[in-house]
Amino acid sequence: MFKPKGKFQGKSPAHKGAPARNQGTERPSEKSLPYGLIYKQNYISAREKTEIMEYLRTLYPIWEMRYSKNNPPPENQKQRPLLRPVYWLGNWQFACLNYYHPPKGIYNRCVTAEGYPPILEYLIQKIEALIHDTYAPRDIPRGWHLNTCLINYYGDQIAEDGKKNDCARVGEHKDFEPGPVASISFGERAFFQFVSSQGTESKSNVVFQQWLEDSSLQIFGGDKFKKHLFHRVQRVDRKEDHIFPLNDIDNFETRRINFTFRYVPDEHVTPFYRLPAEAREDVSGYMEKLAEHSDFFKEQLARQP
């Protein structure tokens, strides 16, 4: 078991590259990256990866629906599942609660969840130190720390007839949690793009793009990449025969797993039992599913409002 010894004290070199003309660049070197972006290949060691893979085998990701009884689909839209199974650490942002979206969507969006295992705590200490060494103080909010992690499982949905539907992608969006975002990838590489506007693939203006490889670290922050541009995963390769086993998930084949670490102010994280009645009703089924394999969620369900 990986056991970090005390708070990480290492210092990584600053990563303040001048803005570069990287449009169309797929494998930029670290020195060529514009300010706001960090990318490190092979950031996760073989030992660390083994530890993380062992931890993943203890998790039971779930499928979520985008809407719920008390948050129905907008007019002309239908209820739909997310494209992939997910698991959250730190706090769980259920899709039907509309995620965390400041300045208006901040309360009753983030439900207290399990904490990080030791290996992720260790890596977060390193990553936070790198971010503080790299970004200007104006781009790191007061109190910022990477206390939220979304684990996305990218792959194929498998129909009853065995046909595979590739849903390993994410549409254009912004991560509204304040401050820099860190991302660790495992498995097949993913083609990641920053675009200047939301639209179809042919209409969106690609500002920067790159491949995110197995065991790599990507960080983005600052006004340009965090606030002004949208980002998306266009596709995930299927060249290395990476297949990750999933607990309790049928008819899905995972070839990439991504950890995205973000910051939600502690005062905006709410225990399940303190949610309003309608929100508790909407997510109680998910909580019960999680509680089947998690003592933490069992205890949360046992708490009375």
Ordered domains of the chain (ranges, CATH): 30-302 (2.60.120.590)
Q: Quick one: pLDDT at residue 197?
A: 76
Could you give the CA distance from residue 1 to residue 48 in angstroms, rounded to a whole number?
Answer: 10
Q: Quick one: pLDDT at residue 304?
A: 79
Q: Quick one: pLDDT at residue 201?
A: 53
- Of 167, 234, 236, which is closest to residue 204 (Cα–Cα)? 234
For residue 251, give the DSSP letter: S
**Parallel/antiparallel/unpaired status of strands 110-112 and 91-92:** antiparallel
Q: Quick one: pLDDT at residue 274?
A: 96
Model confidence, pTM: 0.88
For residue 98, give the DSSP letter: T
Q: Based on the number of CB atoms within 10 Å of its own CB, is 144 exposed (0-12), middle (13-18) or buried (19 or more)?
A: buried
Omega before 34 cis (within 30°)?
no
Start-to-end CA span in the chain (Å): 37
If one counts every other C-beta atom within 10 angstroms of the C-beta of residue 194, the result is 24
If one counts every other C-beta atom within 10 angstroms of the C-beta of residue 127, the result is 24
- Of 247, 296, 244, which is closest to residue 271 (Cα–Cα)? 296
**Sequential pLDDT tens for the chain (305 residues):** 444 444 444 433 333 333 333 444 445 555 689 999 999 999 999 999 999 999 999 999 999 999 999 999 999 899 999 999 999 999 999 999 999 999 989 999 999 999 999 999 999 999 999 999 999 999 999 999 999 999 999 999 999 898 999 999 999 999 999 999 999 999 999 999 999 976 655 567 999 999 999 999 999 999 999 999 999 999 999 998 889 999 999 899 999 999 999 999 999 999 999 999 999 999 999 999 999 999 999 999 999 77
Beta bridge partners of 219: 38, 182
Q: Which two tokens stand for residue 205?
A: 């203006």
For residue 258, give the DSSP letter: E
Q: Based on the number of CB atoms within 10 Å of its own CB, is 93 exposed (0-12), middle (13-18) or buried (19 or more)?
A: buried
Q: Do 138 and 150 touch, CB atoms closer than 8 A?
A: no
**Parallel/antiparallel/unpaired status of strands 148-158 and 86-89:** antiparallel
Q: Quick one: pLDDT at residue 32?
A: 84
Q: Do 256 and 239 touch, CB atoms closer than 8 A?
A: no
**Parallel/antiparallel/unpaired status of strands 110-112 and 269-270:** parallel
